[in-house]
Amino acid sequence: MHVRSSWRAVCAPVALAAVLLTGCQSASGGGAEEDGRLEEERPASVSPAPPRPSGYGAVFLAVDECSSFGRTSFTEVPCTSERAAARVVARHDGTVREGPRCPATTDFVLHISEQRPSLDEDGDGAVPQGYACMRNLQPPHPGDPGGGGGPRTIVGDCVYGLGDGKVRETACDGKGKRKPEYKVTKAVDARSACPASTALYVRLGGTSPVGCALPV
pLDDT band at 26 (very low <50, low <70, confident <90, very high): very low
Q: Counting every residue, how long is the chain?
A: 216
Cα(60)–Cα(128) distance, rounded to whole angstroms?
9
Cα(27)–Cα(24) distance, rounded to whole angstroms?
5
The pTM is what? Answer: 0.68
pLDDT at 117 over 70: no
Ranges 27-36, 89-98, 199-208: which has the least confidence: 27-36
Phi, psi angles (nearest 5°) of residue 85 = -115, -40
pLDDT band at 115 (very low <50, low <70, confident <90, very high): low
Question: Is-cis flag, bond preceding 13, omega within 30?
Answer: no
Report CA dihedral (160, 196, 105, 149) to the nearest 10 degrees.
Answer: 0
Q: Work out the average pLDDT over 102-113.
A: 95
pLDDT at 190 over 70: yes
* Partners of 187 in beta bridges: 211
pLDDT at 167 over 80: yes
**Which pLDDT score is estimated for 127?**
63
Q: Work out the average pLDDT over 89-116.
A: 91
- Top-confidence residue, 29 or 61: 61
CB-CB contact of 129 with 95 (8 Å): yes
pLDDT band at 70 (very low <50, low <70, confident <90, very high): confident
Could you write out the three-class secondary structure of the chain? CHHHHHHHHHHHHHHHHHHHHHHHHHHHHHHHHHHHHHHHHCCCCCCCCCCCCCCCCCCCCCCCCEEECCCCCCCEECCCCCCEEEEEEEEEECCCCCCCCCCCCCCEEEEECCECCCCCCCCCCCECCEEEEEEECCCCCCCCCCCCCCCCCCCCCEEEEEECCEEEEECCCCCCCCCCCEEEEEEECCHHHCCCCCCEEEECCCCCCEEEEEEC
Max mean pLDDT among 4-18, 48-62, 98-112, 120-134 falls in: 98-112
* Partners of 130 in beta bridges: 93, 112
